[in-house]
Structure 1
Amino acid sequence: MTITEPTAGAAEQAGSELVEMAWDPITRIVGSLGIYAKVDFKNRRVAECYSTSSVFRGYSIFMKGKDPRDAHFITSRICGICGDNHATCSVYAQNMAYGVAPPPLGEWMINLGEAAEYMFDHTIFQENLVGVDYCEKMVRETNPGVLELANRTEAPHAAEHGFRTIGDIMRSLNPLEGEFYREALQVSRVTREMFCLMEGRHVHPSTLYPGGIGAVATIQVFTDYLTRLMRYIEFVKKCVPMHDDLFDFFYEALPGYEQVGQRRVLLGCWGALNDPAYCDFKYETMSDWGRRMYVTPGIIVDGQLITNDLVDINLGMRILLGRSYYEDWAGQETFVDRDPLGNPVDPRHPWNQHTIPKPAKRDFEREYSWVMSPRWWDGQQHLPLDTGGGPLARLWSTALNGLVDIGYLRSTGDSVVINLPKTLTKPESTVEWKIPRRNGELLSNAIERNRARTYFQAYSAAAALYFVEQALAEVRAGHTKTWEPFTVPKEAISVGFTEAVRGVLSHHMVIRNGKIANYHPYPPTPWNASVRDPYGTPGPYEDAVQNTPIFEENPPETFKGIDIMRAVRSFDPCLPCGVHMYLGEGKTLQKLHSPHAYTADGG
């Protein structure tokens, strides 16, 4: 963190005293995220925030001309954390382009792999990364008064999770030493094994293809998965009540803490986990099979479901440059004028995007990040949607839609009910995630993003139970086919929709002459980490941090910015998907007479 002198002028006239601070890079994540803020210590509030990313790679550039059948192997390397989500989304886009759908067993196995990925990644982040923000050591350094209260406060669900006080929960989250921290590391290994049983390798699947999956489906492989899944469910039954106790305590210990990381409810969910009985991957039927997903798509504005139609969601996407390091592509080639249903496609849609990097010196008044500004056009304005870290949008959309009812999971219109069966030491239990409200206000804040992550761990486990049962039924019925052949067309446009761990993920592909003519993956990072757009609207990280109150007890000289970090890390930020590497024009090395002397053309 860096600190500069207080900012003078208009701020002081308004009774403020601003201190410029920077956290760059943000720790405990992958990537190059930087947060630059002006903190008003007099009024205990963040006055201004900018989110930056300093590296560019450009998958959309070097995907051009590639064989589309290689797309999922290449794009999985976008990220070493959610690479399988990219591979899966790419396969979905290829299925649409090739006109192929996997056999039911193949789709169930893909769902089992994705469910295992959700369980793995959420466990690692929640308990071993963002959980550290709420551990005893961190609270001691930033809010010693809160820790004293935590040590005196009985945990309401102690009988379910085994920790007597809130202070005991905090100690269990201490890195490398805490009981729960270490247990989560062990459990995460089990979930990776579950994924590999379905897709061969984590995080870059080796058995996932367009048309299905290459893993051999046997009773044993599903039994091995189920054995590990029940171990995970045992863990989740402890996890959910423990986090409820911890997060509820922060609301009570620090009145007003619901404002930390709070922003307007502008949530996007693209849906996940297809039902093979309905999903044929055709664009013409996408509205219907999208609604049949086991995580229901939806755009939520101020608590209201605006649409759950993937065609509408697709057509509303706009890629704005805002204050990012790119040249506009206005006047460049338009790849897609109309979608397969005949609807007009906007020039700023990902199908028509051109990526033209324009490196520049960071200037918050001009350009300051390699992340663009994706927005969703509702017919009147460009909405800066966020993903709520992934789980908040997924649960909120699924709850409002009320379309999921598979025994283990049921969405009610205002909540999601999750039924977990009896495990080795714990009885059958039911947990219910409810749309978050406090004092009549809908909450899209740091605490509720984190709380939703714990509940979605349970949701993923319950969904996986259902998927295992369906897969076993297929095998017992003799339906063991997991892959369908296909041919690559000369011309096609397609899109894949799913949910990466951190939220919305779409891959947009244009094929010409049997090769990729245009390809744009849009994961959660550019949505959440987007910069101010041409209308001056800040991105979600920026918006969530601006106006966040400061509860940390340290003075500016020793300020850690824990409330700011909790706001940012609640989104589960992961920058590789949003920023990549740029080498410029390149230089040629020439060897001279001396074996140790080299020169570079142009420098």
Structure 2
Amino acid sequence: MTSIIPEPSHTKIEPDSLVEMAWDPITRIVGSLGIYTKIDFANREVVECHSTSSIFRGYSIFMRGKDPRDAHFITSRICGICGDNHATCSCYAQNMAYGVQPPHLGEWIVNLGEAAEYMFDHNIFQENLVGVDFCEKMVAETNPGVLAKAENTEAPHAGDHGYRTIADIMRALNPFTGEFYREALQVSRYTREMFCLMEGRHVHPSTLYPGGVGTVATIQLMTDYMTRLMRYVEFMKKVVPMHDDLFDFFYEALPGYDKVGLRRTLLGCWGSFQDPEVCNFSYRDMEDWGRRMFVTPGVVVDGKLVTTSLVDINLGIRILLGSSYYEDWTDQEMFVKTDPLGNPVDRRHPWNQHTNPKPAKRDMDDKYSWVMSPRWFDGTDHLALDTGGGPLARLWSTALAGLVDVGYVQATGHSVKINLPKTALKGPAELEWKIPAAGSNTIERNRARTYFQAYAAACALHFAEKALVEIRAGRTKTWERFEVPDEGIGCGFTEAVRGVLSHHMVIRDGKIANYHPYPPTPWNANPRDSFGTPGPYEDAVQGQPIFEENDRDNFKGIDIMRTVRSFDPCLPCGVHMYLGQGQTLEKLHSPTQALTGE
């Protein structure tokens, strides 16, 4: 049987019997992520990990001098996976800078588009990429004893998903041949169609603008969306219990597996899905409308919610360097000294950041990555927050805050309840995601992704109902005019699929003077910072136990790969290009010359 997991790129025996192993690039993700480890096989433990990214991020440089109204079109190209999340966040930042509030219907349409993006992206990553880590072929290669046990373990929720044993679930996840694997590919098609209905094009929206959307809202539009949404709702009634059975089995089959990928609970969520009835995009009111988002913003430290204020979240962001290939900006201009409420803004805040690339040879003891190191300063410590892959932080923050209650979803203070209505083949279902006793680990990041797919679908039901109220009442305006100020600042906060996303913009003389997008990748994939604190990938991998049954010579690194992929890595959001001053290679004097070559 051909292996479906790449071999480590090199091995080296260290004098102290540690073995160096590296996976570069990591497969089944987008972008150039390398994971370099030292493994103690005698004690079955990863003792050291470094996360690297080998190409440069440069949007903050070539955004300077651009027309602010182009910001969302340009920044959506940061990524071919979550470009719409960037476009949405950029529009939020522009709405603030321009002082414009979109019509209610326009904002419900944006929410419906973003919900479709979560459903699409989480589905294809969970089922067709992460799912392979738990499929029959993979488990047979790395833990044949676990597969043997799975063959004889009845699935507790077989009546809901149709697979009699855990091994049957694993077989259904086999790439290209597995029944569920193929079904999920079909789901990814119609969820992408749902997005296109709302925002014109996936993944770079063609009808999304500051001030609202250009989508023509009709009953037929909403009907086309809802027919697909109800198919997805029915799909989730199968998927959630199926994954619960699979993930619970790993805890049972491998005692101690809850320690794989476990790190201190340091979770950040910037909130998602605006409520247009209260959101005016004014910074002065940001704390209030932020708390009315349908995914509650928050910072969770050691399981406790320390803030739900977007103002606090904004002011606490710090961009550190350390092991990344940049020079500092401590002697360069500060663009924003105080926020609109008069609060001081730190020099290391994105509004004041300068991007000064300084390439160097990779050195794991010094500089080894192009990813900077965002941190959240709580007044005492620079916390290395992670996103839990996105869903874990979103559900944890929303659950603890207890602010969401819209019929289809309720936050209880310790859980999130998701109510799915009757569908064509299945009756109503109530799902409940509970704050995991196991903490922030590999299995729980993956489990939360499944539950958030259902959460996004339930929220979309609410958004569609609200949009239909507007359409039936004749309030079909979807866009509001605005003027670009000569001077201004703006910030946008939302959740990209993989977690926190912010865009910070400074306008001078009607042009962009400074612009910094911070997606989840820099938060998760960063290297050791200037205080020596490892990034979340590094922290989650190093110190984790190894459960793979293969010996050192045949080691695949499946537990390491599961941990890294549980964060849903997407490196395009961490790396891009830099042209410097440019160079003229050839100068053509006329259009005719250009065409004829004369």
TM-score normalised by L of structure 1: 0.95
Other structure's SS at 2:47 match: strand
Does 1:481 pair with 2:474? no
Distance in 2 (CA, whole Å) between partners of 1:263 and 1:134 is 21
The amino acid that maps onto 2:409 is L
Does 1:341 pair with 2:348? no
Match of 1:546 in 2: 542
Other structure's SS at 2:491 match: strand
- Deviation at 1:5? 2.4
Q: Is the 8 A contact 1:169 1:246 kept in 2?
A: yes
Structure 1 window deviating more from structure 2 (455-464 vs 550-559): it is 550-559
Other structure's SS at 1:232 match: helix
- Deviation at 1:517? 0.1
Distance in 2 (CA, whole Å) between partners of 1:279 and 1:176 is 44
Structure 1 portions without partners, runs of 5+? 592-603
- Deviation at 1:365? 1.1
Q: Is the 8 A contact 1:373 1:533 kept in 2?
A: yes
Distance in 2 (CA, whole Å) between partners of 1:67 and 1:588 is 25
Superposed CA offset, 1:358-391 (max 9, x none): 0000001110000011000000010000000000
Question: How many residues are treated as equivalent by the alignment?
Answer: 580
- Deviation at 1:460? 0.2
Match of 1:490 in 2: 486
Distance in 2 (CA, whole Å) between partners of 1:559 and 1:383 is 33
Distance in 2 (CA, whole Å) between partners of 1:373 and 1:122 is 25
Match of 2:12 in 1: 5
Superposed CA offset, 1:245-292 (max 9, x none): 000000000000001100000000000000001000000000000000
Structure 2 portions without partners, runs of 5+? 1-7, 588-598
- Deviation at 1:459? 0.0
1:497-516 equivalences under 5 Å are 497-516=493-512
- Deviation at 1:4? 2.7
Distance in 2 (CA, whole Å) between partners of 1:298 and 1:412 is 15
- Deviation at 1:581? 2.4
- Deviation at 1:582? 3.6
- Deviation at 1:580? 1.4
Match of 2:273 in 1: 273
Runs (4+) off by over 6 Å: none
Q: Is the 8 A contact 1:272 1:296 kept in 2?
A: yes
Match of 1:362 in 2: 362
Distance in 1 (CA, whole Å) between partners of 2:582 and 2:140 is 50
Superposed CA offset, 1:209-235 (max 9, x none): 000000000000001000000000111
Distance in 2 (CA, whole Å) between partners of 1:76 and 1:436 is 34
Distance in 1 (CA, whole Å) between partners of 2:315 and 2:364 is 31
Other structure's SS at 1:129 match: helix
The amino acid that maps onto 1:214 is G
1:13-412 equivalences under 5 Å are 17-412=17-412
Does 1:531 pair with 2:522? no
The amino acid that maps onto 1:518 is N
The amino acid that maps onto 1:49 is C
Match of 1:568 in 2: 564
- Deviation at 1:558? 1.5
Does 1:467 pair with 2:463? yes
Superposed CA offset, 1:131-181 (max 9, x none): 100000000000000000001000000000000000000000000010100
The amino acid that maps onto 2:561 is M
- Deviation at 1:584? 5.7
Match of 1:520 in 2: 516
Other structure's SS at 2:413 match: coil
Q: Is the 8 A contact 1:399 1:414 kept in 2?
A: yes
- Deviation at 1:334? 0.6
Match of 1:445 in 2: 441
Other structure's SS at 1:235 match: helix
Q: Is the 8 A contact 1:391 1:456 kept in 2?
A: yes
TM-score normalised by L of structure 2: 0.96
Distance in 1 (CA, whole Å) between partners of 2:299 and 2:492 is 17
Q: Is the 8 A contact 1:55 1:582 kept in 2?
A: no
The amino acid that maps onto 2:232 is Y
Q: Is the 8 A contact 1:3 1:19 kept in 2?
A: no
Other structure's SS at 1:347 match: coil
Q: Is the 8 A contact 2:101 2:211 kept in 1?
A: yes
- Deviation at 1:2? 2.1
